[in-house]
Every structure is written in C-alpha cells, then in structure tokens.
Structure 1
Amino acid sequence: MSVNSLDDLFVAGLKEAYYTENQLLDALEELSSGTSDEEISNAFSEHREETEQHVQRLEDVFDEIGESPEEKEDNAVKGLIQDHEEFTSQDPDQQILDRFNVAAGQKSEHYEIALYGNLTPMAQDLGLDDVADTLEETLREEQEALEELSQMGEQFDEQAETTDLA
C-alpha cells in the first residue's frame, strides 16, 4: 500500500492497530496464565477482555470508513512478543518472571497509547469525529491499563526495597 495522503496514513495506522490488538489477545492470555500473582493475573485477564472490545471497535471503525478490517504486521509488536519468548525460555524465577510480565505489559501499553494518540487526531483532521471519539475511548482505556500496571510495578519495587533492607 502506497501512503500518499493523510487518509492513507490513517488507514495504515488502523491496520497496525488492528494487528497489534489481535497479537496482544494471545499475549495477554499467556501473560495471565504465566503470572503467579493473582492480582496481576486478573489484571491481564481483564485487559484481554478489554482488548477484545478494542478489536471490535477497530472493526467498527473500518466499517465506518468503508474499509475491510485488515492487519498490517508491526515489527515493534513482533519484537515485544519475541523479547518475552526469549526471556521465558531462560526459565527465570517466578517472582522475576512476574515482574518482567508487568514490565512487558507496560511496554505494550505505552506502544498502544502512541498508536491511538496518533490515530485520534488524524481522525479529527479527516473530519471523522465519531471515529475519533471511538479511538479516544480506547486511548483512555489503554492509559488506565498502563496506570494499573505501573502501580503493580511500584509494589514490586517496594517489596524489593524491604527485602534489601531486611
């Protein structure tokens, strides 16, 4: 696909977002089952359900702009997933794996925030106000997920400090 206009750039971005969300469905299931901390596992499960809604919203956006839902492979997402696979293949201690999983979740949320943070104003510039509202709703949910994961990461850091002090 040749990108020669804002419309082309927007559609390409939607395809990357669609790929990202679909890849993260599987990754979030793996993170949930691979995490021993129940609170973290539940957070990943809940975000997976939210991600299913994100996929549906993107399909609705494609429909609204007259495009068929299509994925465009994204090397950043592939890299995040590959990093996780490489780390888990080293058979780390479970607590270290839990902390790594939280960090991996944070990385993916930052990436998704960047995606939706760029797509939303593009939709506005293209006069697609309803689409922009839909994308902004997803952006807010991604920001909330990042905040939740950041709080969990801080709990790990606090536990490490008390362990080091003991």
Structure 2
Amino acid sequence: MTIKTKRDMFERELQKLYHAELEILDLHGDLAAAAASENVKNIFDGHENDTVAQIHRIEAIFDHLGQEPSERGSALMEGLLAEKDEFVGEVATDELRDLDVISIGIINERIEITLLDRLLMLAEDLSLPDSVSTSFAQNRDEAKAALKRMQTIIDEKRNP
C-alpha cells in the first residue's frame, strides 16, 4: 500500500492498531501466565476486559467508515512478541520474571498510546466525526491507566 494521503495513513494506522489490539489479548494472557506474583498477574488479567472493549470500539470505527475490520501487521508489535518469547522464557527467578513481564507490558502500552495519538491527530486533520476521536481517546485513557498501574509496581520495587 502506497501512502499518498492522510486518509491512506489513517487507514493504515487503524489496521495496525486493530492488529495490535488483537495480539494484545494473547500477549496479556501470556504475561499473566508468566507473572510470578498475583499482583502482576492481576494487572494483565484485569486489563483483558478493557482490551476487548477497545477492539469493539475500533470495529465500530471501521463500520462507521463503511469498511470491514482488517489487520495490518506491525514490525513493532512482532518485535514485542518476539521479545516476550525470548526474555520471559529465559528468566528463572520470580522477581526478575515479574520485572520482565511488567517491562514488556509497559513497552506495549507506550506503543499503543503512540498509535492512538497518531490516529487522533489524523482523525482531527481529516475532520472525522467526534465519535471516532472519542473512541480513540477512551482507548488511550485506558492504555494510560494500565501504564500507570504497571509503572506503580516498578516504582514500588525501586522504593520499597
């Protein structure tokens, strides 16, 4: 796909976000299973409902645009999944495993927030309906809340 317009870019980014959210469902399950502590496990288990709601919002945006939901892979997301497979499997101690799990979760949320910020900017530039921006903003707020929960655990480990 050659990107010639902001609309092309918007559609590409929407497909990438959709792909990422579908992958995140599996990622969160894997991270919850790899977590050593209940506290860390609960962060990922608890975010699953948010992720499902985010997917539904994205599907509604596709519907609003008159398109079938479609995915476009992302090298960033594939790299994150490879990172999870490599590092979570190698870590033997519980404390380090929780640190790896949380770190991967933080990277994921930051990628997601960046994609959403780009889509919000493009939606505004394209004068798309407020409902589109509202859905992206809600997804971004949920990603920021998840990021904050993860960052709190890291901060607690640094300053016991």
Q: What TM-score do you get using the length of structure 1 for normalisation?
A: 0.92
CA–CA distance in structure 2, aligned partners of residues 51 and 154 of structure 1: 24
Tell me the residue number matched to 1:133: 134
TM-score normalised according to structure 2 size: 0.95
The percent identity for this pair of structures is: 26
Shift of 1:36: 2.0
Aligned to 2:30: 30
1:93 deviation in Å?
1.1
Contact 2:27 2:81 survives alignment (8 Å): yes
Contact 1:109 1:146 in 2 (8 A): yes
> Which secondary structure does the structure 1 equivalent of 2:154 belong to?
helix
How many residue pairs end up in the alignment? Answer: 159
Supply the AA of the counterpart residue of 2:108. Answer: S
Do the aligned residues in 2 keep the contact of 1:18 with 1:58 (CA within 8 Å)? Answer: yes
The answer on 1:149 being equivalent to 2:150 is yes
Question: Structure 1 residue 47 and structure 2 residue 47: aligned?
Answer: yes
Flag structure 1 segments of 5+ consecutive residues without an equivalent: 160-166
> Offset of 1:91 from its aligned partner?
4.1
Given that residues 99 and 156 in structure 1 are in contact (C-alpha distance below 8 angstroms), is that contact kept between their aligned partners in structure 2?
Answer: no
CA RMSD between the two structures = 1.1
Q: Tell me, which stretches of 5 or more residues in structure 2 are unaligned?
A: none
Are the counterparts in 1 of residues 15 and 72 from structure 2 also a CA contact under 8 Å?
yes
Distance 1:74 1:114 in 2: 13
